[in-house]
Amino acid sequence: MSEMGVSRLPSAALTFKQFLQRQKVLGIYRNMLRTIRQVPDKTDRKYLSEWARDEFKRNKNATEQDAVRMMVTQANKHLEELQGSLALAKS
């Protein structure tokens, strides 16, 4: 029995483009959590961590490319705002 033409990848395997996009989203999530760890107030830190986790979890099954791109842009904007706020608080 020949296996030519039969993919060894599971049917749920990501395309290369989806894989790259997933890596980008995970990178933003990790950067968001690293940045949140720098927030001085414990209550604010907890709130922001839960917010980030809930947002990313809520959107984890999104597959529409335009929607995912929009969410990545929004997440980057939130990350930049948080980093900017922390920088101002330290100065």
Position 1 scores a pLDDT of 45
pTM: predicted TM-score of the whole model, two decimal places: 0.78
Query: Are the CB atoms for 74 and 25 separated by under 8 Å?
Result: no
Alpha-carbon distance of 58 to 42, in angstroms, equals 24
Position 63 scores a pLDDT of 82
Going from N- to C-terminal start, the domains of the chain cover 17-42
pLDDT mean values, one per 10 residues, the chain (91 residues): 54 81 93 96 96 93 88 95 92 77
Query: Are the CB atoms for 32 and 78 separated by under 8 Å?
Result: yes
Position 80 scores a pLDDT of 96
